[in-house]
Chains A and B, each alone.
Chain A
Amino acid sequence: MSTTVMKYEEALARFEPVLGIETHIELGTRSKMFCGCPTAFGAEPNTQVCPVCLGLPGSLPVTNKAAIEGIIKIGLALNCDIVEWCRFARKNYFYPDMPKNYQISQYDEPLCVDGHLDVEVDGTTFRIEIERVHMEEDTGKSLHVGGATGRIHGADHSLVDYNRAGIPLVEIVTKPITATGEKAPLVAKAYATELRELVRSLGVSEVRMEHGSMRCDVNVSLMPRGASEWGTRTETKNVNSLRSVERAVRSEIERQAAVLDAGGKIVQETRHFHEDSGTTTSGRSKEEAQDYRYFPEPDLVPMAPSREWVEELRASLPELPAARRRRVQGEWGLSDLELRDVVNAGALDLIEETVRAGTDPGAARKWWMNELSRRATEQNVELADLAITPQQVARIQAMVDAKELNDKLARKVFEGVLAGEGTPDEVVAARGLKVVSDDGALAAIIDQVIADNADVADKVRGGKVAAAGALVGAVMKASRGQADAGRARELILEKLGVS
């Protein structure tokens, strides 16, 4: 079944999109939300479970204080009010990956309310209003067996691992995002990106979409231009990368526009985003509307975060990404475009750390944005996941500054470090990569080069000093790049009597 879509530009000419984004973020606490089980990603199945997170009869939850600190920090960083009193609530629905068949969540009493986050798209700032930030627990994970694609449909049974069940989950819900026009998909992506940076800066989550530690659900509705009433919205789940956030919004705008254009009605439903096609498909239509029967969680007592505690947490917040960007832009003298490239490459932390280790900002940026970005792309990993530390980058640059390495040799040191050959100093030693500036060693090479290139040497003696470049090149070649090119030139000219 193919879906009819309307061309994006046409859709935007006719309709105004309204967005809403719900983001789930797994907190990186040592233990789960309500029990002491570890939270490591990728552990063997059902090795991080206990009576509490398996929902065994008789077990009871106890709230992890670090998780509450984490969510309050997120709330504060999003300019939210932290409420003085609130409760957990049970959200009741049956699903095999949910051990108790209710999720401990928050309903009409979220911990953080009424915040905002500013994001920038093409030089324009959009203020995204935050409706609420609340605390809940994650579910287990199912593996579907017997279907053709590992998907749920067509599977003949499923295998459930509850390691993820009970990991603290923060849900951040925006107010409706309006007046973004054709920039809607970019605003959505910019919001998700900025939120990720913000949460990462707080150190409360790894916020890695590929691990599922940050997940976005995107609500989209369209209203005809000039109309005042919003259209029916759909909720798209399974949006697992920043790029997908943009694509999902765009694809849903195109689809809904075509439906409305054909005189159809948008069905309020859950849709699933598919990375491969970049489109959404309808979730199972529900025979009955969900009725979650929320009620206050009787096993947990209310939370009443004291104002002192909240202020302590506010004081502990690190410099937030927006402020930090402004600062480094000034300190490093970057243009807006250069700054954006650094941020988009995920290089800000790495460069700053390298600078802190003693490197000039220009050099630090050069290595991370050129040589190392290229290698990250080759290896298909994030910059931060390369097997090299900012301190090592700083050490290599220090050797360059000391003229012990030239750029070409430095690249070989990077290669060695990334290949796991050891620290920069170990690589230099093992590969014998020191610049040869020792006059005795150089003199022998130069004598040989002059003898081998007598014609060129004559031209230089005859006053064509520019021809010395060829001799320097030959020296570099003969020394396998290790010669100090500047010193080599000086010595050549001296020998040929033109200095």
Chain B
Amino acid sequence: MSAITRDEVAHLARLSRLALGDDELDHLAAQLDQIISAVARVQEVAAEDIPPTSHALPLTNVYRSDENRPSLTPEQALSGAPAAEDQRFRVPRILGEEA
């Protein structure tokens, strides 16, 4: 039995905003299936009562004081923009919820 179905892979592609063709999805589905089966080994370890580790080091409470630092100029901010208009980033029409 495969660890992941072709439909799930298509769903992941949508969630990840990747417009993948059928061939690419097929190819990826096979590879992901192989990888997921391999990494599923983590489930073998007896990990009851083992706390998870999210950070490499156990640091806590790192803050900065509420002070202003220089911002970029609008020219710098927009310098890499694929499109700009009226000192704003111009983006294609947005689907989805009204903000």
Contacts and interface: CB of A to CB of B under 8 A. Distances in A.
B66 A29 contact: yes
A303 B61 contact: yes
Interface stretch (A30-38, A219-227, A383-391): A30-38
A62 B64 contact: yes
Q: Which 8 A-B pairs have the closest CB atoms?
A: A36-B69, A66-B66, A65-B63, A159-B88, A296-B54, A301-B59, A160-B89, A304-B60
A38 B94 CA distance: 27
A87 B78 CA distance: 32
A291 B85 contact: no
B43 interface: no
A226 B43 CA distance: 47
Nearest to A97: B99
15 contacts: A36-B69, A37-B68, A45-B87, A46-B78, A46-B89, A50-B72, A63-B63, A68-B63, A96-B94, A142-B94, A146-B93, A155-B94, A158-B94, A159-B89, A296-B55
B69 A31 contact: yes
A30 B66 contact: yes
Given A36-B67, A49-B71, 7 more contacts: A30-B67, A54-B72, A63-B64, A158-B90, A158-B91, A284-B96, A296-B55
Interface of B: 11, 14-15, 17, 54-55, 59-74, 77-78, 85-99
Nearest to A163: B71
A270 B60 contact: no
A30 B93 contact: no
Interface string A100-143: 00000000000000000000000000000000000000010111
Interface string A231-272: 000000110000000000000000000000000000000101
Listed residue (B62, B64, B73) with the most chain A CB atoms within 10 angstroms of its CB? B64
B91 A64 contact: no
B66 A159 contact: no
Nearest to A141: B99
Interface string A43-55: 0111111110010
A331 B59 CA distance: 51
Given A62-B64, A66-B65, A304-B61, A45 B91 contact: no
A270 B72 CA distance: 36
B91 A157 contact: yes
B30 to A, nearest CB: 23
A35 B69 contact: yes
A238 B99 CA distance: 8
Given A96-B91, A162-B89, A270 B97 contact: yes
